Amino acid sequence: MSSPRHVPVMLDRVVALLEPALDHDDAVLVDATLGLGGHSEAVLARCSLARVVGIDRDPQALAMSRERLAPYGERFTAVHAVYDQIPEVLADLGLDEVDGVLFDLGVSSMQLDLPERGFAYAVDAPLDMRMDDSTGPTAADVLNTYSAAELVRVLRDYGEERMAKRIAAAIVRAREVEPFTTSGRLVALLYDAIPAPARRTGGHPAKRTFQALRMEVNDELRVLERAMPAAVDAIGVGGRVVVESYHSLEDRLVKRVFAGATRSTVPEDLPFLPEGSEPSFRLVTRGAEQATQEEIEENPRAASVRLRAIERVRPRRPASGKGAA
């Protein structure tokens, strides 16, 4: 199988945000969502002193990125793991801290481009949607076993689907006749369940449901809730965490973690900051950065990206151990 050459969203800006943290001997970047290795390749090419630890839960993505990044030899290490396992990965590699952690959240182009993975609604394929297709329940399992209330929660929370109740009721009725196995039947149901006026706005009528199922199957928000504090804790002074998110719930979570890390614990009405009470981090981006109109026209996936970055400016407090800010 040939490796797709998808250019990641906001690639130049992402590398520019990481470069200052990686401009020294033995610098290490954790690419927590390796995918096809586009970000890692750019970092390895432009940051000649850095090495990259690439994490991905998808064995196919790991195989492709290993092949793509083979020319960089020992500067690249691929690890099969979920990105909330950053502490375990670093411990296994004998790393106490790193200089950068990058997250490019959501589904990869490779997963969308392979019909048999079931992520895309444009072709009829098995309803799988697992990023690691060797373990865990599939999208079909969710559709066939969740109660109507659970389906409404998934569709509303993860897909921001206004027709969640209507769709969930239609799914429950349909599965009593025959269990769901392929995406084509689900897409047909969505066309029937969503009224014509609603179908004419907001893109493809299956887009929100497929996104919601994917996020549920892969437990994406709960994984991110564990991964963000771990990433912030993993970087040394001058290190940076850079995150590209594509969903409002993801971005809100990232914003909350970054805000907490950069906020002083001293009461606001105190006239001065006692020594040692300054925040351990600073925001590198002002709010969430977005892609330019030119990039969105070239790469529609960039339309929803929100890019945030944070930098550690003070060392961990020794008395508080590894979990300290």
∠ at Cα 233 (107, 323), nearest 5°? Answer: 130
* 56 annotated to bind ligand: yes
Encoded tokens for 62: 């790991």
Q: Identify the three-state secondary structure at position 166.
A: helix
Q: Identify the three-state secondary structure at position 282.
A: strand
194 Cβ neighbours under 8 A, 6+ residues apart: 163, 166, 167, 205
The helix-helix angle for 207-217 and 148-159 (nearest 10°) equals 100
Strand order across the 50-56 sheet: 76-80, 50-56, 27-31, 98-104, 235-245, 306-312, 281-283
* 236 annotated to bind ligand: no
Label residues 276-298 b or e (16+ Cβ within 10 Å = b): eeebbbebbbeeebebeeebbee
* 39 annotated to bind ligand: yes
Torsion sign over Cα 37, 302, 127, 225: positive
* 38 annotated to bind ligand: yes
Strands (E), the chain: 27-31, 50-56, 76-80, 98-104, 235-245, 281-283, 306-312
* 121 annotated to bind ligand: no
Mark the binding-site residues for S-adenosyl-L-methionine, compressed into ranges. 37-39, 56, 83, 104, 111
Mark the binding-site residues, compressed into ranges. 37-39, 56, 83, 104, 111
